[in-house]
Structure 1
């Protein structure tokens, strides 16, 4: 297994490193295969045979951060309360198996981390190098879309629950500070806007209950109890998402004062409509407005 010929043409440290890395990843895939199949046998013996009927083995391939793991697990048939029959994999249930198709969550997270920093094509190259995986730029895009759809479904559900008054956060605070801003990002692939402007605004909202000095610093502060949400959707949708996110965590009936800081954009001010929220320009934009409006530099310095 570890025999690497020293007579190979052009053998370099870089190539040796890659060979060994692939060997280790391939062996890790074999270990994971054995662990999964051993657990599946354990569940076969320990299951309630009156409830779960063994319907045989099913082969599958799971794409992981180590490479493709091919293994077999048993599928079971059981009866629902209404008398109908259904099937499940006890191994998946036991391990809380959460995947996007046949892609493990660890690999999905690695892909998402990459794609937030580099292009789909570069992400595909990075995944091939780091995760012993073959994936195309289109494959990366497909995973991003699937995750986005799931997030969108969760947001819609959260909004619906909040509109019904079903979101009742337990945390009680007298004052809640909020900040909202927009960041214009260049969009990749099929989602990018048509025309010259290839950018789209990502709306961001942060809420917190206060601030404290950063450990080891005398001037820098960090916020306390920070909650964040973000969306590319319309301002009306974002307003609902932001409110639902707050209602999910806080008992909004007990909040006496809410202060929203922002740059004065219409969609940010609209967040205060029909609600008892105090809007104020954040310090940066206050200073910016003073510098733009006051020509006397001495007066500007005293005001800022």
Structure 2
């Protein structure tokens, strides 16, 4: 019943998007069958594919339903099921995870499928971390100089403090006062 309800909701949203789309920008190329494995079983539904032109003028095919819903699925696996897979493999081997997930969801999930989902999640996490690292800024400050080493003719800084974060440069002095 939950699968049928989910199918109806998805197809209703697809109908709504078809009516509201900019027809000059998105040309309806018909419906395509698809499915997604969820924690309550596999949901089969139809969604429309649209042809559009990218900024460089090339043709592209898009599913407005996926864009609208922010659907993030890995292959035919829902985000919720992918999360359950990730939690399971943190504690168990792939084969044991596959057996437990198959019995609890009523669908066949192989050890290889569990491995594939885990690899895809790893790739996504790595790319998100790379973006965060690009945003990160570092700030180093020192209290002063070592007076004894200064007498020896060597300049050495003391009381080094390093801050790292996502703040702009104006936010760092405030953190230094914590």
Report the TM-score when normalising by structure 1.
Answer: 0.46
Correspondence 1:170-185 to 2 at 5 A: none
Aligned to 1:247: 165
Structure 1 gaps of 5+ residues are 1-26, 168-242, 259-304
Instruction: Find out whether 1:156 has 2:130 as its counterpart.
Output: yes
Match of 2:89 among 95, 107, 115: 115
In 1, the alpha carbon distance for the partners of 2:37 and 2:118 equals 16
**Distance between the aligned counterparts of 2:167 and 2:103, measured in 1?**
40
> How far has the Cα of 1:249 moved from its partner?
6.2
The 3-state SS of whatever aligns with 1:97 is coil
Task: Give 1:80 shift.
Answer: 2.6
Please name the residue that 1:94 is paired with. Answer: 68
Relative contact order, CA 8 A, sep 6+: which one is greater?
2
Residue in 2 aligned with 1:82?
56
Give the C-alpha shift of residue 81 in structure 1.
Answer: 3.0
Gaps of 5+ in 2: 139-161
**For the residues of structure 2 that align with 1:138 and 1:253, how far apart are their CA atoms?**
50
Q: In the superposition, relative to structure 1, how do residues 252 and 148 fare at CA in structure 2: closer, same or farther (>3 Å)? A: farther
Indicate the RMSD between aligned Cα atoms, in angstroms. Answer: 2.4
Match for residue 128 of structure 1? 102
Matches for 1:33-48 after TM superposition, within 5 Å? 33-48=7-22
Render the CA deviation track for 1:66-86: whole Å, top value 9, x for unaligned. Answer: 111111100111223333322
Residue number in structure 2 paired with 1:256: 176
Once residues 159 and 49 of structure 1 are traced to their aligned partners in structure 2, the CA distance between those partners, rounded to angstroms, is 40
State the 1:90 CA deviation: 0.7
Q: Which residue of 1 aligns with 2:33?
A: 59
1:257 Cα deviation from its structure 2 partner: 6.3
Q: Give the paired residue count.
A: 153
> Residues 47-76 of structure 1, C-alpha deviation per residue, up to 9 Å, x if partnerless?
121221101111112111111111110011
TM-score norm. by structure 2 comes to 0.75
